[in-house]
């Protein structure tokens, strides 16, 4: 960890991408594949700030059918979207000087580095602008984790609600990963991660889950179902050693 990440206002950007190819089917930059969607959410001092970056990108190459089955994004949908060079400056400004968190980070980073290289060799690589954290590698080193360590498995392990998730989507998966990351590092996250947000940006959700709202808080008491969900979450966190408190007698509903 560097000095930036030890500061009180630690800035984390949770990122996910969708691409024209799947990794196991020649879906790497060296096969000519490109990024078609980027989603990133900002966390400062372990709180969502409401700032996010989300864009669809026209790749100028054919999307593999296997990839469309995963994310549902077609070339026709992307035909009027910007190309990477159109969004590069805004994207780089959003992610630089952060801890960039991604699941199976080498996959996402290799695609981003490839876009950097194609645009201008002098741009460098992601590591020149960010510290990269791979939650997949984190999960491999943690005890009592599920055998499968994909994003779905980890979300279920931490009792995060992803029931409305159908297709993969960069912003949606970044949101889910933000919850997983906070749980893995011992923090709290929204239990209903996919509520109100599917494969596109839902600004209302982000506005309602920010750290800088200044409204007077209304006290809402937990329902019986919410208490049960909370207890399940604590029990899951205790198995990994991430939970610093136990269930009280009031949690037994």
Binding site feature residues for a divalent metal cation: 16, 18, 173
Cα–Cα distance, 180 to 159 (Å, whole number)? 10
CB 56 within 8 A of CB 36: yes
* Catalytic residue check, 168: yes
Binding site feature residues: 16, 18, 66, 71, 173
pLDDT (0 to 100) of residue 54: 97
pLDDT (0 to 100) of residue 190: 45
Helices and strands (H, E) in the chain, number of each type:
9, 5
- Catalytic residue (one of 33, 114, 168, 230): 168
Q: Which domains does the chain have, with CATH numbers?
A: 3-214 (3.30.420.10), 218-253 (no CATH)
Alpha carbon of residue 26 to chain centroid: 24
pLDDT along the chain (253 residues), means of 10: 50 96 64 92 93 96 91 95 98 97 95 95 96 97 93 91 74 93 75 39 42 48 68 63 44 34
Pinpoint the alpha helices (H) of the chain: 65-71, 75-78, 84-95, 105-119, 135-141, 151-157, 170-184, 203-208, 224-240
Cα–Cα distance, 46 to 11 (Å, whole number)? 8
pLDDT (0 to 100) of residue 29: 73
Binding site feature residues for substrate: 16, 18, 66, 71, 173
């Amino acid at each position: 960890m560097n000095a930036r990440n030890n500061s009180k206002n630690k800035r984390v950007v949770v990122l996910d991408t969708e691409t024209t190819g799947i990794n196991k089917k020649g879906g790497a930059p060296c096969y000519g594949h490109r990024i078609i969607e980027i989603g990133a959410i900002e966390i400062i001092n372990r709180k969502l700030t409401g700032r996010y970056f989300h864009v669809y990108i026209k790749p100028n190459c054919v999307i593999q059918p296997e990839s469309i089955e995963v994310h549902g994004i077609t070339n026709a949908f992307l035909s009027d979207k910007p190309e990477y060079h159109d969004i590069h400056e805004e994207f780089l400004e959003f992610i630089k000087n952060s801890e960039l968190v991604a699941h199976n980070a080498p996959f996402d980073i290799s695609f981003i580095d490839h876009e950097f290289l194609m645009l201008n060799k002098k741009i460098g690589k992601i590591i020149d602008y960010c510290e990269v954290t791979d939650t997949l590698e984190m999960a491999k080193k943690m005890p009592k984790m599920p055998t499968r360590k994909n994003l779905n498995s980890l979300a279920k392990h931490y009792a995060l609600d992803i029931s409305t998730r159908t297709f993969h989507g960069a912003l949606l998966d970044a949101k889910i990963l933000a919850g997983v990351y906070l749980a893995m590092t011992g923090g709290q996250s929204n239990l209903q991660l996919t509520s109100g947000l599917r494969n596109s940006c839902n600004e209302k959700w982000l506005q309602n889950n920010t750290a800088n709202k200044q409204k007077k808080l209304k006290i809402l008491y937990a329902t019986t179902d919410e208490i049960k969900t909370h207890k399940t979450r604590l029990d899951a966190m205790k198995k990994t050693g991430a939970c610093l408190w136990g269930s009280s007698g009031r949690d037994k509903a």
